[in-house]
A = this chain, B = another copy of it.
Amino acid sequence: MVQQTVLERGAHGIGVLLSEEAPHGHQALGGTVLPTNLGLGATFDPQGVQEAEAAVAAELAASGIHIALVSGLDIARDPRWGRCEECFGEDPLMAARMCEAIVTGMQGEHRSKVGHGGVAVVLKHLAAQGEAVGGRNGQSAVLGPHDLHEIHLPPVAAGVRAGALGFMAAYNDIDSVPCCANPWLLKDYLRDQLGFDGIVMADGLAVDRLEDMAGSIPAAGRAALLAGVDVSLWDEGFTRLEEYTDDEQVVAAVDTALRRVLELKAMFGLLPEDGADTAAIAMPSADAIAQATADGREQAKRMAREAITLINDGQSAATLDDIRSVIADAQAGPVIVAGPFADDFGCFLGDYTAPLPADEQSSVYRQLVARLGEDRVLLAAKPSDAPADQWARASTVVFVCGSTSERSYDSEFDDNGAAKAVTEYGATCGEGVDLSDIRLPWRQDDMLGEVAALTTAPIVSVAVCGRAHVLTDVLERSAVTIWAGYAGQYGPQAVADVLVDGADMSGRLPVTLPAYPAAIPVRYNDRQSAAHVYKDAAEPILRGFGYGAGSLAAVTFSEMHADTQSHPGEVLVQVTAHADDHGAAGAVNLFAHVSGGRRIPRLAMLVDSVYMDLNAGERRDIAFHVPCDRLRDVGDGQVQVTCTLDGDSTHTVTATLPGEY
Chain A residues packing against B (C-beta within 8 Å) = 80, 82, 131, 133-134, 136-140, 142-148, 150, 173-178, 181, 212-215, 223, 421-422, 428, 432-438, 441, 516-522, 526-528, 530, 533-537, 540, 595-601, 635, 637-638, 640
For A521, give the chain B residue with the smallest CB separation: B134
Copies of this chain in its oligomeric complex: 2
Residue of B150, B535, B596 touching A434 (CB-CB under 8 A): B535
A142-B142, A143-B144, A213-B598 in contact; A534/B136 too (CB < 8 A)? yes
Contacts of A533 in B (CB 8 A): 136-137, 139, 434
Least Cβ–Cβ distance between A310 and chain B, in angstroms: 28
Which of A518, A526, A536: most chain B CB closer than 10 A? A518
Least Cβ–Cβ distance between A342 and chain B, in angstroms: 23
A174 to B600 CA separation, bound complex (whole angstroms): 9
- A-B CB proximity, top 8 nearest: A144-B175, A436-B519, A176-B599, A436-B534, A436-B537, A436-B518, A215-B596, A144-B144
Which of A134, A146, A147, A174: most chain B CB closer than 10 A? A134
Inter-subunit contact B215/A145 (CB<8 Å): no
A142 to B147 CA separation, bound complex (whole angstroms): 8
A600 to B637 CA separation, bound complex (whole angstroms): 37
Contacts of A536 in B (CB 8 A): 435-437, 441
Contacts of A522 in B (CB 8 A): 134
Contacts of A138 in B (CB 8 A): 528
For A638, give the chain B residue with the smallest CB separation: B215
Inter-subunit contact B213/A599 (CB<8 Å): yes
For A520, give the chain B residue with the smallest CB separation: B134
A147 to B143 CA separation, bound complex (whole angstroms): 9
Contacts of A432 in B (CB 8 A): 535
Inter-subunit contact B173/A527 (CB<8 Å): yes
Which of A143, A432, A596, A600: most chain B CB closer than 10 A? A600
A517-B518, A536-B436 in contact; A213/B600 too (CB < 8 A)? yes
A474 to B491 CA separation, bound complex (whole angstroms): 45
Contacts of A519 in B (CB 8 A): 134, 436
A638 to B434 CA separation, bound complex (whole angstroms): 35
A522 to B139 CA separation, bound complex (whole angstroms): 12
Least Cβ–Cβ distance between A213 and chain B, in angstroms: 5
Contacts of A212 in B (CB 8 A): 595, 600-601
Least Cβ–Cβ distance between A517 and chain B, in angstroms: 6
A432 to B526 CA separation, bound complex (whole angstroms): 19
Secondary structure dominating the interface of A: loop
A152 to B277 CA separation, bound complex (whole angstroms): 63
Inter-subunit contact A140/B176 (CB<8 Å): no
Contacts of A428 in B (CB 8 A): 535
Inter-subunit contact B80/A599 (CB<8 Å): no
A80 to B516 CA separation, bound complex (whole angstroms): 14
Least Cβ–Cβ distance between A400 and chain B, in angstroms: 22
Residue of B134, B176, B598 touching A600 (CB-CB under 8 A): B176
Inter-subunit contact B146/A528 (CB<8 Å): no
| 16 intermolecular pairs with C-beta atoms under 8 Å apart | A80-B518, A82-B535, A136-B530, A139-B533, A140-B526, A181-B598, A213-B595, A213-B599, A213-B635, A215-B596, A223-B598, A422-B535, A435-B535, A436-B519, A437-B516, A517-B518
Least Cβ–Cβ distance between A218 and chain B, in angstroms: 13
A535 to B434 CA separation, bound complex (whole angstroms): 6
For A148, give the chain B residue with the smallest CB separation: B144
A521 to B142 CA separation, bound complex (whole angstroms): 12
A213 to B136 CA separation, bound complex (whole angstroms): 32
A436-B540, A598-B181 in contact; A147/B175 too (CB < 8 A)? yes
Least Cβ–Cβ distance between A423 and chain B, in angstroms: 10
Inter-subunit contact A535/B421 (CB<8 Å): yes
Residue of B134, B176, B438, B535 touching A527 (CB-CB under 8 A): B176
A33 to B145 CA separation, bound complex (whole angstroms): 42
A139-B527, A142-B147, A143-B175 in contact; A213/B597 too (CB < 8 A)? yes
Contacts of A535 in B (CB 8 A): 82, 421-422, 428, 432-435
With A80-B518, A82-B535, A433-B535 known, 12 other A-B pairs at CB within 8 A are A80-B534, A131-B142, A136-B533, A137-B533, A143-B175, A176-B527, A177-B599, A212-B601, A435-B534, A436-B516, A436-B519, A436-B537
A136 to B518 CA separation, bound complex (whole angstroms): 12
A80 to B138 CA separation, bound complex (whole angstroms): 23
Contacts of A143 in B (CB 8 A): 142-144, 175
Inter-subunit contact A518/B133 (CB<8 Å): no
Contacts of A140 in B (CB 8 A): 526-528, 600
